């Protein structure tokens, strides 16, 4: 068979198998959930908590594209879990389990696997998730890692992108822009004396655990950039959105990143903050939830009647151009 060495494994512990696959079993089997059946079966079993709906998301990261080449494997694993956890946070779901798909070059050494498993273990504990199963293959290309993650919600309470209504305020958690600034810092384009920007890019903090059902009409996490993601929520909800760039909360680094940092559309990439559409009557409850969670919250726009698009509005009410040649720029 001309393809020896390329066959998938379901991570069953194997005798007489190439060392790298035995290592994978050794590193990953201890991370398995009960339903993962010790990672020795063809599939895993998920028993949703009684009366709950499952929420499922998937994200892939490619070496050198979604993280910088040379990034420690531990960080890669943690970021992979966190970008998926952020999607669950945006849906208002409680995390449960995940499946892991790895495609790695054959010369990937044990240190990488050990570091990757250590990163998974660390964030499994932090976020209360566990490994259900997955697949590993070798690849002649770059390391490519995917997670499919499961969470649960009470029936009918998942937060969607499509619920924003005219009159809702657009709110954002935390600050915007340090994700992409962290990438620039790691690329040596801007200074980062205390490493806080790089840390923000490397290890986003998913905004889990806030009871936003009944408060927000719509939610999503910011990963592609604030302006672009505003466009997603406006189009999904079929309503116009007036974004007020002057209201967008920045850190001191963000405030020095140029007058067009927000309006150009770059700010917000890799931030993993939440965008929320909240009607005025729920603003007090939103503030209360965020205060209890210790997370800052700011209104940065307003949904208004009109075609599903995003318009920039200056403090004096005039229109500001958003994005360079369009606010969609990935």
Provide the pairing of β-strand 144-153 with 274-278.
unpaired
| The only residue of 23, 26, 29, 66 in contact with its own copies, by rule CB under 8 A | 66
Measured from the Cβ of residue 124, the count of other Cβ atoms closer than 10 Å reads 20
CB of 256 to its own copies, least distance (A): 17
Beta-carbon contacts of 59 under 8 Å, excluding residues fewer than 6 positions away, are: 80, 83, 84, 87, 146, 147
Task: Check residue 155 for interaction with its own copies (CB under 8 A).
Answer: yes
Binding mask 267-306 for its own copies (x = CB under 8 A): --x-------------------------------------
Nearer Cβ to its own copies, position 62 or 250?
62
Three-state DSSP class for residue 243: strand
# of chain residues touching its own copies (CB under 8 A)? 93
Binding mask 232-251 for its own copies (x = CB under 8 A): x--xx---------------
Task: Check residue 212 for interaction with its own copies (CB under 8 A).
Answer: no
Q: Is 319 exposed, middle or buried (0-12, 13-18, 19+ CB in 10 A)?
A: exposed
Task: Check residue 322 for interaction with its own copies (CB under 8 A).
Answer: no
| The only residue of 32, 170, 180, 248 in contact with its own copies, by rule CB under 8 A | 180
Measured from the Cβ of residue 1, the count of other Cβ atoms closer than 10 Å reads 6
| The only residue of 23, 29, 37, 122 in contact with its own copies, by rule CB under 8 A | 37
CB of 53 to its own copies, least distance (A): 5
CB of 90 to its own copies, least distance (A): 4
| The only residue of 20, 71, 74, 87 in contact with its own copies, by rule CB under 8 A | 87
CB of 32 to its own copies, least distance (A): 13
The footprint of its own copies on residues 158-177 (CB under 8 A) is 158, 160-162
Binding mask 88-107 for its own copies (x = CB under 8 A): x-xx-x-----x-x-x----
Bridge partners of 141, per DSSP, are: none
Q: Is 39 exposed, middle or buried (0-12, 13-18, 19+ CB in 10 A)?
A: buried
Measured from the Cβ of residue 19, the count of other Cβ atoms closer than 10 Å reads 8
Phi-psi region of 12 (alpha: psi -120 to 50; beta: other; left: phi over 0): beta
CB of 73 within 8 A of CB of 81? no
Task: Check residue 29 for interaction with its own copies (CB under 8 A).
Answer: no
Task: Check residue 61 for interaction with its own copies (CB under 8 A).
Answer: yes
Q: What are phi and psi of 29, to 5 degrees?
A: -55, -40
Nearest to 10 by CA among 119, 134, 105: 134
Which tokens is 77 given? 């694993």
Nearer Cβ to its own copies, position 148 or 282?
148
Nearer Cβ to its own copies, position 106 or 291?
106
Alpha helix ranges (H) inside 149-278: 178-186, 196-202, 226-237, 252-255
| The only residue of 23, 40, 213, 295 in contact with its own copies, by rule CB under 8 A | 40
Task: Check residue 134 for interaction with its own copies (CB under 8 A).
Answer: yes
| The only residue of 24, 32, 33, 55 in contact with its own copies, by rule CB under 8 A | 55
């Amino acid at each position: 068979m001309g393809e020896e060495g390329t066959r998938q494994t379901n991570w069953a512990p194997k005798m007489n198998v190439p060392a790298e696959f035995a290592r994978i079993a050794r590193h990953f089997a201890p991370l398995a959930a009960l339903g993962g059946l010790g990672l020795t079966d063809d599939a895993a079993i998920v028993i949703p908590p009684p009366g709950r709906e499952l929420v499922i998301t998937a994200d892939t990261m490619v070496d050198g594209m979604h993280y910088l080449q040379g990034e420690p494997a531990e960080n890669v694993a943690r970021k992979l879990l966190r970008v998926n956890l952020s999607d669950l946070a945006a849906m208002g779901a409680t995390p449960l389990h995940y499946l892991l798909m790895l495609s790695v070059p054959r010369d990937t050494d044990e240190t990488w696997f050990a570091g990757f498993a250590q990163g998974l273990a660390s964030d499994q504990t932090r976020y209360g998730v566990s490994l259900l199963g997955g697949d590993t293959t070798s690849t002649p290309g770059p390391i490519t890692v995917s997670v499919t993650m499961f969470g649960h919600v009470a029936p009918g309470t998942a937060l969607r992108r499509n619920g924003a209504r005219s009159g809702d305020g657009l709110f954002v958690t935390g600050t915007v822009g340090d994700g992409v600034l962290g990438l620039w810092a790691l690329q040596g384009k801007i200074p980062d004396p205390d490493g806080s920007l790089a840390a923000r890019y490397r290890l986003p903090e998913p905004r889990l655990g806030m009871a936003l059902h009944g408060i927000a009409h719509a939610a999503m996490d910011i990963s592609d950039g604030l302006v672009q993601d505003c466009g997603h929520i406006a189009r999904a909800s079929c309503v116009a959105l007036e974004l007020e760039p002057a209201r967008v909360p920045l850190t001191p680094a963000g405030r020095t990143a140029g007058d067009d940092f927000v309006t150009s559309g770059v700010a917000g990439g890799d931030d993993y903050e939440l965008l929320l559409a909240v009607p005025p009557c729920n603003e007090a409850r939103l503030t209360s939830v965020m205060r209890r969670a210790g997370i800052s919250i700011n209104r940065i726009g307003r949904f208004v009647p009109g075609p599903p698009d995003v318009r920039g509005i200056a403090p004096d009410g005039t229109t500001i151009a958003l994005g360079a040649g369009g606010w969609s720029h990935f």
